[in-house]
Amino acid sequence: MAIDMYQSSIPVFTRMLGNLSAILEKGEVHAKAKNIDPSVFINARLAPDMYPLTKQVQIATDMVKGCAARLAGVEVPSYADTETIFAELQERVAKTTAFLQAFTADQINGSEERTVTLKLRGKEISFWGQPYLLYFVLPNLYFHVTTAYAILRHNGVELGKMDFIGGYPAE
């Protein structure tokens, strides 16, 4: 049985970006409540060789906007990666969500065997659409949203599993 590429991508992406936005909001509120300079959180990382919070958000949004565009066969928008405050990260998440919501099921469905070619670390790698979504984009999205969550949680922001998962959607 074939999967529905639209249902497996766009609603999942927008849900996780909504959860990421809520996590970022809790981080900003916590910084204000505790008189912590927000840049402490913005530049925080879990380990010296890992990216900071800003880059985690940038990569998560890049993953999903790139996936939607590639599956639909349209140009991937480019963002400047200049965010330095919570409000700018929120704007990026909102801009990406709006971009995703503009896609229709007809644009995404049928892309299971669309060839997607990426340049990664100087090499071209090609995928078919379905493996690209399931085995590359979704794991990357979850990794970077989880890492953003973990950075803020590690720095004392009161977050729990439900902040990551979000509320349960109505049936």
**What's the confidence (pLDDT) of residue 62?**
98
Q: Cα separation of 89 and 69, whole Å?
A: 21
Q: Which helix (H) or strand (E) holds 126?
A: strand 123-128
Whether 52 contacts 43, CB under 8 Å:
yes
Q: Report the percent of the chain where pLDDT is more than 70.
A: 98
CA distances to 1, 56, 77, 91, 95 from 81, rounded to whole Å, are 39, 11, 12, 12, 13
Domain parsing of the chain, residue ranges:
10-161
Q: Phi and psi dihedrals of 2, rounded to 5?
A: -75, 150
Which of the listed CATH numbers 2.60.40.10, 3.40.190.10, 2.102.10.10, 1.20.120.450 matches domain 10-161? 1.20.120.450
Confidence of residue 169 (pLDDT cuts 50, 70, 90): low
DSSP alpha helices (H): ranges in the chain?
10-33, 38-42, 53-72, 86-101, 105-108, 129-131, 138-154, 161-165
Q: Phi and psi dihedrals of 116, rounded to 5?
A: -120, 120
Instruction: Give tens-digit pLDDT for 87-140.
Output: 999 999 999 999 999 999 999 999 999 999 999 889 999 999 999 999 999 999
Average pLDDT over residues 49-62: 98
Average pLDDT over residues 69-88: 97
**What's the confidence (pLDDT) of residue 3?**
87
Does residue 42 register a pLDDT over 70?
A: yes
